[in-house]
Structure 1
Amino acid sequence: MSRNIILYIAMSLDGYIARKNGDVDWLEGDGSEPDANIGYDEFYGTIDTLIMGRKTYDQILTFGEYPYKGTRGYVYTSEKRDKNEDVEFTDENAEDLIGKLKRETGKDVWLIGGAGLIDAFIKKELIDEYFISVIPCILGEGISLFKDNNPEIKLKLLKNETVNGIAMLHYTKR
């Protein structure tokens, strides 16, 4: 069975994944169910590999200790950095990396972000599933999840639910 490449991300109602400066301080529900489980732990148990861009990686490091220790990670960057215990820095062709990962035995692969990397994966049709949580917030401006000139990709809704005012949508490619 082939591993799936999964985009698991949150966006504002108007389609932004971060403020223009990269802040994600608005990522919260409406307070109607403050202690509700939004399914992150369940999702995280289904993956064993992460892919993210360098800006996303650097931002994650500002939150404190690296939260994905023990999970294989790839960080896309054109900067030369040495591999560390948490991630491998790469500028490998995305199709080659995904092809290699899909041939390996393992759990699914989480495409975390950022926007540029997600855009490249969408344009190359490398994403198998989309978990998108729509946060009850209109930012007005920021970093868009979806860029221009994407291919048409037909999706099938697998599940939708609302928790704490957050609309959680799970799609797969048809």
Structure 2
Amino acid sequence: MKKIILDLAVTLDGFIEGPNGEIDWCIMDDDMDFEGFLSSIDTIFYGRVSYDMWGNYQPEENASPEEQNLWKAVHAKNKYVFSSRKREDKNAVFVDSDIASAVAEIKKQDGKDIWLYGGASLIKTFIDLNLIDVYRISVHPIALGKGKPLFEDLKDRLNLQLIKTNIFKSGVVQLIYEPVK
């Protein structure tokens, strides 16, 4: 069965974005093997706001070939958008009710794993419904002091078991956890 993987950058003080939505602090090192992660998934889960910002994003014409290829790989994935606002979109399937049942059906499909991209409210919903199989949290060596926290208003305590740690040349430390059952 497919796994749902939350792969997310977070600051040292626990924020997933700055107070104005900024993510300019995120580091992408070549030793992070993000392309390898992308090749391990065939589906991306978005919240509506995140999808509207990034679901169809196109890099500038003068962007590097690496950035062009990265976005081409992202856009080749199946996309599901979880939103109370149903709409037609040729690039994504919108899910507007019974998230747990919809996710269970998607996980049963053949194929690779699923990237839970976010945003924050979708991540919180998935945590509350115990739908995340793997937490890949990349801690970046910066503290913002304020912003949108990763774990906010949790319904219950979240117990995780560390599976692996990766340290990158930039100082980013990736922590890979699974929920304790």
1:56 and 2:50 correspond: yes
Q: Which amino acid aligns with 2:24?
A: D
Q: Which amino acid aligns with 1:171?
A: Y
Task: Classify the secondary structure of the residue corresponding to 2:167.
Answer: strand
- Report the counterpart of residue 32 of structure 2 in structure 1: 38
Distance 2:93 2:179 in 1: 28
Task: Classify the secondary structure of the residue corresponding to 1:96.
Answer: helix
Q: In the alignment, is the contact (CA less than 8 A) between 2:163 and 2:178 conserved in 1?
A: yes
Residue among 117, 130, 136 paired with 1:131: 136
The residue correspondences of 1:15-164 to structure 2 (distance < 5 A) are: 15-28=14-27, 36-60=30-54, 63-65=57-59, 67=71, 68-84=74-90, 86-163=91-168, 164=170
1:59-80 superposed Cα distances (whole Å, 9 cap, x missing partner): 2158525932221001122223
**Identical amino acids, percent of aligned pairs:** 37
- Report the counterpart of residue 32 of structure 1 in structure 2: none
1:167 and 2:166 correspond: no
Distance 2:26 2:89 in 1: 30
1:24-82 superposed Cα distances (whole Å, 9 cap, x missing partner): 111127xxxxx542121111111111101111112215852593222100112222321
Distance 2:45 2:94 in 1: 10
More deviation in 56-65 or 113-122?
A: 56-65
Post-superposition offset of 1:21:
2.1
CA RMSD of aligned residues (A): 1.9
Post-superposition offset of 1:83:
2.3
1:89-110 superposed Cα distances (whole Å, 9 cap, x missing partner): 2213220111101221111111
Q: Aligned in 2, Cα 1:9/1:104: closer, same or farther, shift over 3 Å?
A: same
Q: Which amino acid aligns with 1:135?
A: H
Distance 1:62 1:112 in 2: 14
Distance 1:133 1:149 in 2: 20
Structure 1 runs, 4 residues or longer, greater than 6 Å off: none
Q: Which amino acid aligns with 2:48?
A: R
Q: In the alignment, is the contact (CA less than 8 A) between 2:86 and 2:96 conserved in 1?
A: no
Distance 2:156 2:2 in 1: 22
> Could you tell me the TM-score, scaled by structure 2's length?
0.85
Q: Aligned in 2, Cα 1:103/1:80: closer, same or farther, shift over 3 Å?
A: closer
Task: Classify the secondary structure of the residue corresponding to 2:142.
Answer: coil
